[in-house]
Structure 1
Amino acid sequence: MRSTAVVGLGAMGMPIAHRLLDAGVPLTVHDSRAEPMEVMSAAGATTATRLSDCRAVDVALIVVANADQVREVLLGEHGLASADISAGDSAPRIVVVMSTIGRQAILDVQRQVEARGIKVVDAPISGGASHANRGSLSILAAGDYTAMESVRPQLELLGHVFSCGPVGNAQLIKVANNVIGNLSTLAVAEVGRLLRGYGIDMAVANQVFEASSGRNWLSSDPAMAQEQYARLSVTRGVFDATTAIVRKDAQLALDIATESGGDYPLIEALVTLTRAVGDETYQNWSAAGVASLQL
């Protein structure tokens, strides 16, 4: 299998790197923090202290938090696409952007990176760390067919690959998915607190949800939902970092809606809602993740 780099060893990048390494993929990893680099080194990965040391691989998976970080990884001074290929410098043949950064951002990145002879695959991921650990992510892949097929072996180690068309389409679908998913995440925890306050057995309530119009991605797997809420609220710092991403995703949805010229009041309301989440939502998520409770 082609030599591969994972850039970004956070909540998603770390389990992705482990999945690839366990499958025998020749793997190089990079992160600005020492601790995850030490973990991956002990597991057998090649660690690149300098980002530019990842240029020698065939395929680079970018798993960072936002568009600014993607641009820095690819186009910054030491970026993967900043190599002087005409002078014989190495650079990846394909970069796979697995971050959710929005349609316009990925199109801008594609234009600049592909002008330097490197193919871009737009491949945001859904499922969270629990699915990353299990190799059951949803991977929304868009871009040049040949490039996508070249990286399919790596991506299929991580989950199910959905072909979404040209670059930009995967970001559109992922942002739309996040609108629905984030609304469910907020609603299920709050409704759970409401019903528990009335003494309702949540195992019974969840059976009703799953068989009725309240069915959602959390009701389909209560154990996974409990694990997700517990992980996302393990500390207030983790919760704050998670809700910052939720706010970012809501803003991306509003940006796309604004570009379309249409009127999307629900998306506008979601942006307002995500800006207001705080102590009460943290308590909701903490309660939903308590081991003795079932959603």
Structure 2
Amino acid sequence: MILQGKPTVGVAGVGNMGAPMARTIAKAGFPVVLFDLNAKALEAFGGEGGFALAETLEELGQRCDIVVTMLPNSSVVRAAVMGRAPEGGIADGLAARKAKSPNCPAIILDMSSSFALDTRRLGAELKERGIRLIDAPVSGGVPKARAGTLAIMAGGEASAIVEAEPVLKSMGNVIRTGDLGSGHAMKAINNYVSAAGLIATAEALLIGERLGLAPQTIARVLNAATGKNNTTENKLTQYMIPRTFNAGFALDLMAKDVAMARALARELGIRAPALDFVSADLDEASATLGPGADHTAVLHYRERKAATKES
């Protein structure tokens, strides 16, 4: 049910993550306007109340007070926000709306996995147009997106975050990380730590199995001891030991996210050899297993690599 007086929220990108996030926003009583280049993604909302559709990104901005972007990367976000001639972008629409209604918040929530330094540059350009950018990437995957329990890392102007917080809280738990770009930086760092745990867990499983340890015993001990991590808790017995490899997050996306952390470290002049290894290893695994492979299939990649060395 749409509640009176609530800001209209736009969502650009209603794929695997954007769609459930849009639904939790609507469930909280916000009127929601959707945009996606993929018509099938929009068709999935057919018959559901609380949603309207925009035909262009500029129209999305014109009809909304706050716009969420959930897109593949920084360059796609920039194109969506700033537009590509002759097409206008979200910022053009928001600026026009704010000119007519000065009380319009004119906030963009970039919830994509964008590059922190690109986010800062985009934010500076938007500020000149009276539009505030918040970087608010998420962690938790599709299940938590559906439940509205995502971890949301919000960076940006404090007053803008306060205004946008009701929308953010409809999707999960908000952790303020600091200035603009800090949320995307934190997401990149978190993704690296999570990926390192995935690789370490895959290697540990193979070593333990080779020694004759039962896979379930390995999982129980790791989760009862100091080796416990997100992979041991939520992926090892569920997708890796049974070799189903269907956790729902693509390996190539994980590789992209970790590459972002690697690029950030390099740009800051920080030597990070473990990060370099994890990033290169994921790139190789992704190239070996091909597009669409699940990230838990890193175990399969490790098994293939071990078999090659033995032969």
TM-score band by shorter chain is 0.7 to 0.9
The one-letter code of the counterpart of 2:22 is A
SS where residue 45 of structure 2 aligns? helix
Question: 2:252·2:293 contact (CA, 8 Å) conserved in 1?
Answer: no
Moved more, 5-14 or 42-51: 42-51
SS where residue 11 of structure 1 aligns? coil
SS where residue 74 of structure 1 aligns? helix
Q: Name the structure 2 match of 1:253.
A: 261
The 5 Å alignment of 1:155-234 reads: 155-192=168-205, 195=208, 200-221=213-234, 226=239, 229-232=245-248
Aligned length: 281
Shift of 1:194: 5.3
Shift of 1:85: 3.3
Query: Unpaired runs of 5+ in structure 2?
Result: 1-5, 301-311
CA distance in 1, matches of 2:66, 2:212: 53
Query: Unpaired runs of 5+ in structure 1?
Result: 233-238, 290-295
Shift of 1:10: 1.2
Q: Name the structure 2 match of 1:264.
A: 272
- After superposition, give the CA deviation of every residue in 1:114-134 in whole Å (9 maximum; x if it has no partner): 111111111111111121112
Q: Name the structure 2 match of 1:9.
A: 14
The one-letter code of the counterpart of 1:174 is K
Q: Name the structure 2 match of 1:49.
A: 55
CA distance in 1, matches of 2:216, 2:229: 15
Question: 2:199·2:298 contact (CA, 8 Å) conserved in 1?
Answer: no
The one-letter code of the counterpart of 2:246 is A
SS where residue 25 of structure 1 aligns? coil
Question: 2:219·2:236 contact (CA, 8 Å) conserved in 1?
Answer: no
CA distance in 1, matches of 2:126, 2:295: 43
SS where residue 246 of structure 1 aligns? helix
Q: Name the structure 1 match of 2:167.
A: 154
Q: Name the structure 2 match of 1:129.
A: 142
- Over alpha carbons, which structure has the higher Rg? 2
Distance change in 2, residues 1:284/1:27 (3 Å)? closer
Question: 1:57·1:92 contact (CA, 8 Å) conserved in 2?
Answer: no
TM-score for the superposition, normalised by structure 2? 0.80
SS where residue 19 of structure 2 aligns? helix
Question: 2:247·2:296 contact (CA, 8 Å) conserved in 1?
Answer: no
The one-letter code of the counterpart of 2:289 is D
The one-letter code of the counterpart of 1:266 is A
Question: 1:41·1:47 contact (CA, 8 Å) conserved in 2?
Answer: no
Match of 2:251 among 243, 254, 257: 243
% identity of equivalent residues:
25
Moved more, 171-180 or 199-208: 199-208
Q: Aligned-pair RMSD on alpha carbons?
A: 3.0
Q: Name the structure 2 match of 1:59.
A: 66
TM-score for the superposition, normalised by structure 1? 0.85
The one-letter code of the counterpart of 1:81 is A
Shift of 1:211: 1.9
Shift of 1:102: 1.7
Distance change in 2, residues 1:284/1:80 (3 Å)? closer
Q: Name the structure 1 match of 2:23.
A: 18
